[in-house]
Amino acid sequence: MHSLPPNGFLPPEHELTARFGVSRTVLREATKRLESLGLLESRHGVGVQVVHRLHQSVTRSLSVLVSDRHQLLRQTMEVRQMLEVETARRAAEQLSTQAITTLRHLHEQLTHADSVDEAARLDVAFHQAIASAAGNALVALLLDSISDLGAESRKLTMSRSGILHAVQQHEQILTALERRDGEAAGDAMRIHLNHASEDLLAQLSNRPTDATVKA
């Protein structure tokens, strides 16, 4: 069971109870617990799938803590600005060949994205790959915990500035990373996030708040 890859499925219930010597009740309680942590997902008629959604509980908590959606998106961007500039700098210092290959592949996919939804997903993946390459699991998890909110804000900014704008700025970041130039990578990331923040604020100013919508 421990060797199952993400998106794989658990063996049948009877096999797991026999393997671990537990009752179905115990197994189902354990499954529910792992589901609540974002590690498993029950799919009706299909089975129990292994997933990696540890961030979902954080996203739900944030939505309760900051009920104003616009404010939550603004704060998400502020957190990204605090963390990702230094993350890019550190990633440049220890990028593996495989990490560069992954980043280049994601960038090429973004270049050919044919919808804002697809572009937002690839944009998030690109930034997550940089965080992983920086070698700090806690920072990577922190950024992953706001990835859903990040995707939402990216859809807004790309709707305003277009996908090409993100592609061009990612190219600057990637070029610096490929040169293993930490200072240039940090500067490119700072410029990118500053532009994204400006676009987000401009876009939000033209959209009704949650309170207005409810009214």
pLDDT tens track, the chain, 215 positions: 455 555 678 888 888 888 889 998 988 888 887 776 667 778 777 788 776 665 555 666 666 666 788 988 999 999 999 999 999 999 999 999 999 999 999 999 999 999 999 999 999 999 999 999 999 998 998 888 888 889 999 999 998 889 999 999 999 999 999 999 999 999 999 999 999 999 999 999 886 544 333 33
Query: Residue 141 has which token pair?
Result: 């998890």
Bridge partners, 47 (sequence order)? 43
Identical fold between 13-50 and 67-202: no
CATH number for 13-50 (one of 1.10.443.10, 1.10.1740.10, 3.40.630.10, 1.10.10.10): it is 1.10.10.10
Q: Which residues of 13-26 are buried (b: 16+ CB within 10 A; e: fewer)?
A: eeebbeeeeeeeee
Helix-helix angle 97-111:163-178, to 10 degrees: 160
The residue ranges of every structural domain in the chain are 13-50, 67-202
Domain made up of 67-202: CATH architecture: Up-down Bundle (1.20)
State the amino acid at position 5 in one-letter form: P
* Helices vs strands, H then E, count in the chain: 11, 2
At 48 the three-state DSSP class reads strand
